[in-house]
């Protein structure tokens, strides 16, 4: 499968996951409305989830940069970073994003912002110091692809839905603990619905988180492939990923809330994940696909 077909396939699968998310949200809303005989609780949960995440979306660049202690990158101090981004943005048909750096020896990078006109690309000083120009082009092309593919918007949708599921589940469990809601003596059908609803509401946050992580991993694969289409040189990004994977230490101030935005897990390799031999449970709960698998896809597409 070529890069264009892979990109189309990944986008289709990602939207299928989003659709599954929406089905879960609708099911939870229906159950809560039935259980509590009151739709107001669901409305409150939706409002809280939406308000929190809409604010985070509009202020995403400022929030993410602040959480990661980033500072502006000037042309004079980071000439290659600036010129590489400028040239690739022109090639991609994008406005040049604002550039920031994080003073950290761990090689990493991320893109943020609500749209193409308000985008930010941020890299660690460790990454900028160890990459050749062709490797840096691969990294920047990867991050510009996140912007071009509107990944920030897609991840915001996922976070909104996951936030709703978590809040709704928490409200249900707290009120049920104090004796709220329907009783079991209302017919066999209601008892079955009640049991299924309770099991579902308890497992829903875990399912929502797994879907969110799956979306994040797919976006990394897609950004790798889209980045190669931009540079026409897969070896550059592959070499950069190998250098990033070889670094065994976490970032100095990793943040769980923004981990999925980074090019690689800012908490560092867990077990043998960096070498691509992680167990299925570790991969299931990982925000990023294994480096070895990403390199293999770049250098040997279709295998």
Region label for 187, one of left (φ > 0), alpha (ψ between -120 and 50) or beta (otherwise): left
Annotated catalytic residue, options 137, 143, 220, 225: 143
Separation between Cα atoms, residue 32 and residue 44, nearest integer Å: 12
> Is residue 135 among the annotated active site residues?
no
Q: Which residues make Cβ contacts (< 8 Å) with residue 60, sequence separation at least 6?
A: 112, 113, 114, 152, 156
CB-based burial label for 98 (10 Å; 0-12, 13-18, 19+)? middle
C-alpha to C-alpha distances, 156 to 58, 141, 169, nearest whole angstrom: 10, 22, 20
Q: Which residues pair with 111 in a beta bridge?
A: 121
Closest C-alpha among 3, 234, 247, 79 to residue 141: 234
Active site residues: 143
């Amino acid at each position: 499968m070529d890069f264009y077909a892979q990109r189309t396939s990944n986008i289709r699968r990602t939207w299928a996951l989003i659709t599954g998310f929406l089905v879960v949200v609708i099911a939870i809303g229906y159950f809560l409305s039935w259980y509590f005989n009151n739709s107001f609780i669901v409305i409150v949960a939706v409002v809280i989830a939406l308000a929190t995440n809409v604010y985070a979306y509009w202020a995403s660049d400022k929030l993410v940069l602040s959480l990661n202690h980033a500072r502006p990158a000037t042309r004079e101090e980071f000439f290659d970073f600036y010129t590489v981004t400028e040239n690739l943005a022109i090639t991609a048909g994008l406005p040049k994003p604002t550039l920031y750096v994080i003073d950290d020896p761990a090689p990493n990078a991320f893109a943020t912002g609500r749209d193409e006109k308000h985008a930010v690309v941020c890299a660690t000083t460790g990454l900028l110091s160890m990459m050749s120009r062709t490797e840096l082009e691969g990294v920047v092309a990867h991050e510009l692809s996140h912007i071009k593919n509107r990944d920030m918007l897609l991840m915001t949708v996922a976070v909104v839905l996951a936030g709703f599921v978590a809040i709704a589940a928490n409200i249900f469990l707290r009120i049920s603990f104090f004796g709220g809601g329907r009783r079991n003596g209302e017919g066999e059908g209601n008892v079955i619905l009640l049991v299924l609803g309770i099991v579902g509401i308890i497992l829903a946050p875990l399912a929502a988180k797994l879907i969110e992580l799956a979306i994040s991993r797919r976006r990394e694969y897609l950004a790798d492939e889209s980045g190669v289409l931009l540079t026409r040189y897969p070896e550059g990004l592959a070499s950069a990923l190998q250098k990033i994977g070889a670094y065994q230490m976490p970032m100095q101030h990793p943040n769980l809330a923004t981990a999925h935005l980074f090019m690689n897990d800012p908490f560092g390799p867990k077990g043998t994940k960096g070498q691509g031999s992680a167990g299925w449970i570790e991969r299931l709960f990982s925000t990023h696909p294994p480096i070895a698998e990403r390199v293999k896809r770049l250098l040997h597409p279709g295998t």
